[in-house]
Amino acid sequence: MAHPSQLGFQDAASPVMEELLHFHDHALMIVFLISTLVLYIIIAMVSTKLTNKYILDSQEIEIIWTVLPAIILILIALPSLRILYLMDEINDPHLTIKAMGHQWYWSYEYTDYEDLGFDSYMLPTQDLATGQFRLLEADHRMVVPIESPIRVLISAEDVLHSWAVPSLGVKMDAVPGRLNQVAFISSRPGVFYGQCSEICGANHSFMPIVVEAVPLEHFENWSSLMLEDA
């Protein structure tokens, strides 16, 4: 969960998000080193009247500042491509959930069950209990088991939406007439919040996403209760 004046990412709740955080730190360190070097060169050039004649025309320096950026780009590109393929990898999901975007709420359908589905609306401010978050809490949460591969099929019924949960490292557009998919594994129990990340109309800010990750036994109890109520 993000907090006021937070500068970094939210705490990772999935292996993919942990990889994204590590890559972010890796790339940021390279940016810091380049920025420091460039700043030093600028200060050195401004603060001295001396000129090194070997810098004005030097084949060796030209080779260095051509090869070095290429090496740096490779050091950034290879981990990036690895994570890109990891994010698209979907191997034998234990649970498939269909998420449909509407103006302005989400509906979820657990396709592995015969009749398990519900709509998820934002809780109005006056209905919030103590400790619940304004504009982020929903009347029905998407409950998933921890440490299990989950596949989410995402589409929309009316306009473009986007299903995004930062802590889980997932974000996928919901396009009418098209079925997109994304996968994640929740590595710990918790409640993870997201919001529609595609401008979809007047109430775009009021269709939150709430994913609750629980142990498998609790998930089975929850699904049994939902099926009985249905």
Instruction: For 85-143, write each residue's pLDDT tens digit.
Output: 999 888 889 999 999 999 999 999 999 998 899 999 999 999 898 888 999 999 999 99
Instruction: For 23-73, write each residue's pLDDT tens digit.
Output: 999 999 999 999 999 999 899 888 888 777 777 777 888 888 899 999 999
pLDDT of the residue at 4: 83
pLDDT of the residue at 230: 64
Pairing between β-strand 95-102 and β-strand 208-214 as defined by DSSP bridges: unpaired
User: Alpha helices, DSSP H only, in 13-158?
Assistant: 15-47, 53-56, 59-88
One-letter amino acid for residue 230 of the chain: A
Domains recognised in the chain with CATH numbers: 15-88 (1.10.287.90), 95-229 (2.60.40.420)
Q: 220: closest CA among 116, 127, 64?
A: 116
Question: What's the DSSP call for residue 120?
Answer: E
CB 136 within 8 A of CB 210: yes
Residue 71's SS3 state is helix
pTM: 0.85
Q: How far apart are CA 23 and CA 57, in angstroms?
A: 37
